[in-house]
Amino acid sequence: MRDIPGKFASLSEHRPPRPDAGPQAKLTINEGESPLAWLRARRGKDGAAMISEVQFLAGERLRNDFERSMLQRRITTNWGMATAGGNTAAEMSDAALAARERYMKALEAVGPELGSILTQVCCLSAGMEQAERLLNLPQRSGRAVLGLALTALARHYGLSNRGGSA
Domain ranges of the chain: 1-33, 34-157
Q: Is the pTM of this model over 0.75?
A: no
**pLDDT for residue 11:** 38
| Residue 59 DSSP SS3 | helix
pLDDT band at 144 (very low <50, low <70, confident <90, very high): very high
pLDDT band at 6 (very low <50, low <70, confident <90, very high): very low
Q: Please say whether the beta carbons of 114 and 148 come within 8 A.
A: yes
Residue 93 neighbours by CB under 8 Å, 6+ apart = none
Q: Please say whether the beta carbons of 70 and 92 come within 8 A.
A: yes
What is the distance between the terminal CA atoms of the chain, rounded to a whole angstrom? 35
Side chain identity at 115, as an amino acid letter? G
CA distance 112 to 105: 11
